[in-house]
Amino acid sequence: MLKHLALLTPCFALSACSSPPNAMGSDTIGTQRPNVIMIYTDDMNFKDAAVFGGKEVMTPTIDRLANEGARLDRYYVSSPVCTPSRYNLLTGRYASYSSTLLERYPTSEPAFLRWNTHIEEGENTIAEMFQNSGYVTGFVGKYHNFENEAIQLHNELDDDPRDPEVAARIAKNYQDMKSIIQQLTGFDYMESLYYNNLHAMALPAEMQQHNQEWVTQSALEFIDQNHGKPFYLYMATTTPHGPPPVASMKSDPRITPAGFLDQAPQVQASRDSAFIRVKQAGLPESAAVMLWIDDAIQALLDKLEHHDLLDNTMIIFASDHSGKNGGRGKMTNYEGGVNTPAFVWWPKKISPQQVDGLVSSVDIVPTILDATGVSTEQPLDGQSMLPLLTGQTDQLRDDAYLEITYTRGVVTDRWKYIAVRFPSDIRDDARQNPGKYNQEGLTQTTDALAGTLRSRYRAHELHPGYFDFDQLYDLQNDPDERHNLANDPAYADVLAEMKARLKQHVAPLPHAFGEFK
């Protein structure tokens, strides 16, 4: 297995590996080149859709598409927090390659990955890969790969958004943000944008509300404008991430980051009807949130059907990371953060199936390029999933690489290895005082949130090995990752193999990481 992995290593660096073969054959290109819609939810976990095991939810459209397509049961997000996860989908690369990290951390030290992996000038996005291919590209919804400092943000929480001067500032912030992001990413169409989490967008408190209909409206407009040519549409929802979406569903539906709309969008089933349907089904009010997203997806399907595009459109659905176990796996390499709901739906091309082969978030871009017959000279870190989804192989990859904060990891069918390696300024202190630093390199007095909880999302409460520098888990017998086997002599050979796997993944990356590079 390691020999096979070694053969793959050059693909991390050579552009020759980034032009995937067209696994579907010549019928995917030409006059009927497929459309692709990428739907990316925010903080969704397996209990948020019935098809993935949710009990108190109503997600009929998501369930149908997942059941009719390929459900990816071992889909892993390489970097399980908003920004680096989105970097994977926009570039097809590991977040470690972000220019921001190269600017902030010397390559002789480990890079710290969190909300700092932005898209900068010169980074190549999937939209730019599609340029000159005959495809038109669109982006709607949440971005979150943006430096707030790039625009002047000067609204206060207690500002009145109805005041003309405040409204003008909100509108200017939005237009400046949109212009910069469109220039950085290269998307042809970009509307209904949230450039960050709501609390970080310098909006008055009243304006910090989700508005799925506003996002849906732009997605439908994009399809209407471009139904006569092949297109790629990226729709990133802001939910079920906070602030509490139920409160947003009860707020003024004209609220957007660009200011108050003149009229609320009427593009999908109403919010009131969502509350009524979940109540009639005997479900809690909170179930309306995923139904809100589900209704948006149904509106997309209705629009595709209207333009006779259903059979020629591939839909990929995934979450930016999991919110499993109350979100306590978020921003860690534990299963509760990295293993997320995902499926691929493509009528007449992909048969209904449950796929248990390993898949990574960096495989999304190669898959889209493969399906559309588009090649690129840009380096990519993943592989097209189409051979796996069309039965040409039952195993796409031997392992999947994971990276977040000061941790790096690798997961195979059965095993997971996580390494925690700190930068030189705290390395010796951390070794001499085990448990003093969490995986972000913070002490209990460095950060208020970390100080209260020991780890930002309380992962240490579920994983006794959280503070260990080397962690080995048997996912087959210990799926909750509660028993660290790294120091058990009986597993020394497994540990050595997993370390060797991790070393091969880390080797091409820009920054050092302990003994692995």
Residue 437 included in any domain? no
Q: Cβ atoms within 10 A of the Cβ of 50, count?
A: 18
Instruction: For residue 405, list its beta bridge partners.
Output: 113
| CATH number of residue 241's parent domain | 3.40.720.10
Task: Look at the chain and report how many structural domains it folds into.
Answer: 1
Q: Cβ atoms within 10 A of the Cβ of 84, count?
A: 30
How much is the pLDDT for 325?
67
Q: Contact at 8 Å (CB) between 385 and 344?
A: yes
pLDDT of 47 > 80? The answer is: yes
Strand runs (DSSP E) across 7-113, as ranges?
35-42, 70-72, 75-76
Whole-angstrom distance, CA of residue 236 vs CA of residue 245: 15
Q: Contact at 8 Å (CB) between 238 and 198?
A: yes
Residue 467 included in any domain? no
For residues 186-196, average pLDDT: 97
Residues, the chain: 517
Give the pLDDT band (50/70/90) at residue 446.
low
Whole-angstrom distance, CA of residue 367 vs CA of residue 512: 30
For residues 393-414, average pLDDT: 97
- For 202-241, the pLDDT digits (tens) are 899 999 999 999 999 999 999 999 999 999 999 999 999 9
Residue 348 included in any domain? yes
Range of the domain at 156: 37-356
C-alpha 96 chain-centroid distance: 15
- For 331-371, the pLDDT digits (tens) are 999 999 999 999 999 999 999 999 999 999 999 999 999 99
Q: Cβ atoms within 10 A of the Cβ of 183, count?
A: 11
pLDDT of 517 > 60? The answer is: yes
Among 4-18, 283-297, 409-423, 442-456, the range scoring the smallest mean pLDDT is 4-18
Q: Contact at 8 Å (CB) between 21 and 370?
A: yes
Report the DSSP pairing between strands 353-355 and 70-72.
Answer: parallel
406 phi and psi angles, rounded to 5 deg: -100, 30
337 phi and psi angles, rounded to 5 deg: -110, -40
Residue 314 included in any domain? yes
How much is the pLDDT for 76?
98
DSSP H helices, 376-491, are: 386-389, 424-432, 448-453
Q: Which residue has the tokens 């070694």?
A: 6
Select from 54, 62, 56 the least CA-distant residue to 284: 56
pLDDT of 463 > 80? The answer is: yes
Residue 390 included in any domain? no
Among 154-168, 169-183, 352-366, the range scoring the smallest mean pLDDT is 154-168
Whole-angstrom distance, CA of residue 26 vs CA of residue 320: 32
Beta-carbon contacts of 482 under 8 Å, excluding residues fewer than 6 positions away, are: 462, 463, 464, 465
How much is the pLDDT for 15?
33
- For 266-292, the pLDDT digits (tens) are 999 999 999 999 999 999 999 999 999
Residue 403 included in any domain? no
Sheet holding 35-42, edge to edge: 189-194, 136-142, 231-240, 35-42, 313-319, 342-345, 70-72, 353-355
pLDDT of 455 > 90? The answer is: no
Q: Cβ atoms within 10 A of the Cβ of 414, count?
A: 11
Residue 24 included in any domain? no
- For 140-151, the pLDDT digits (tens) are 999 999 876 666
How much is the pLDDT for 489?
98
For the chain, how long is the longest CA-to-CA vector?
70
Q: Tell me what the pLDDT averaged over the chain comes to.
A: 91
pLDDT of 453 > 60? The answer is: no
How much is the pLDDT for 148?
66
319 phi and psi angles, rounded to 5 deg: -110, 150
The proportion of the chain whose per-residue pLDDT surpasses 70, expressed as a percent, equals 90
Q: Contact at 8 Å (CB) between 318 and 364?
A: yes
* H or E element at residue 236: strand 231-240
DSSP string, 173-186: HHHHHHHHHHHHH-
How much is the pLDDT for 220?
98
pLDDT of 323 > 80? The answer is: no
Q: Contact at 8 Å (CB) between 411 and 418?
A: no
Whole-angstrom distance, CA of residue 360 vs CA of residue 373: 21
Residue 405 included in any domain? no
For residues 112-130, average pLDDT: 95
How much is the pLDDT for 416?
98
Q: Cβ atoms within 10 A of the Cβ of 271, count?
A: 21
For residues 35-61, average pLDDT: 96
The SS3 of residue 425 is helix
